A and B are shown apart, each in its own frame.
Chain A
Amino acid sequence: MKKDITSAIWWKALCVVLLIYTVVAGFLMPVPALAILHETIRNLYFHVCMWFAMMFILTISLVYSIKFLMNPKEDFDIIASQTANTGMVFGVLGLITGSLWAKYTWGAWWINDPKLNGAAITLLSYFAYIVLRSSMDDEQKRSRVSAVYNIFAYAMLIVFVMVYPRLSQVDSLHPGNGGNPGFNSYDLDSHMRMVFYPAVLGWLLLCSWIAAINIRLERINRYNYNKI
């Protein structure tokens, strides 16, 4: 099996350090006292990071899908598919944690909000990617069709998570909308930044770590399959 970044140790060690820092500092560092939010503002270190991790890993998935279309190597297909699978897990966690947070700040598990619906549509389009892959037996065809679909799914992601909620015509309760990208209302606090940025990197690395293990397992799977 070839050695690459997926089996390197340094970034996994960094992940462990950053996540432990996130949990300790995330609960003990001071946060601004805001109405409605109260202590739940600390969810920023966890819920939001799920989405950052998902966006990052799905971008890698897109890159490897494009790489596969330019140069159909089996390994590119393995990386594209396994990163997409891992991204879905983090997306679902983001959706569930967001729903719980919404219940105790907005008063409902789900509201008809552009950001929430956009995220749900995005997840559905990626579930379609997984279904599409499992529906084809021919490896060559599966790799090519799913790589093309992945580019489409990523376009959906950008439109429904980044563009649509920010249009000025739609109102959203969710922060970072209405022509106001980012988390300005929270992020101004310098104490929160000290935790938030390491937290994003930590969760992003954890997501990559899980994806790396999935990739290596899939490589072993394919190797065993090709041997038989």
Chain B
Amino acid sequence: MIKVKGFLLLLAVLCVNTLFAQTEATGNIEMADGMRSSGKIYVVVAVLVIILAGLLLYMISIDRKVSKIEKEIEQEKK
């Protein structure tokens, strides 16, 4: 379930990206200043931090599982 949610969020982020990418530059180069001033860039940052934190916590838990198995093997050897 968490994985599905993460994927949907990622998709939403991608869509936002493409919307901004499609606006053409005429005269001034358009940057995401509007989005920044209304504060909504922080939503994207928050989403990405959550995804990244989730993935990194998952990495840590996998790392611990492997360590546990290594310890078991170590004891088995003795």
Contacts and interface: CB of A to CB of B under 8 A. Distances in A.
Interface of A: 1, 7, 12, 15-16, 19-20, 23-24, 27-28, 31, 33-36, 38-40, 100, 104-105, 206, 209-210, 213, 216-217, 220, 223
A20 B53 contact: yes
Interface of chain A, helix or strand or loop or mixed? helix
Contacts of B45: 23-24, 27-28
Contacts of B44: 27
A19 B20 CA distance: 24
Interface residues of B, number: 30
Nearest to B76: A227
12 contacts: A1-B70, A20-B49, A27-B48, A33-B29, A33-B31, A36-B25, A38-B20, A38-B31, A39-B32, A104-B22, A206-B59, A209-B59
Nearest to B36: A28
Contacts of B53: 20
A20 B48 CA distance: 9
Contacts of A104: 17-18, 21-22
A50 to B, nearest CB: 15
B20 to A, nearest CB: 6
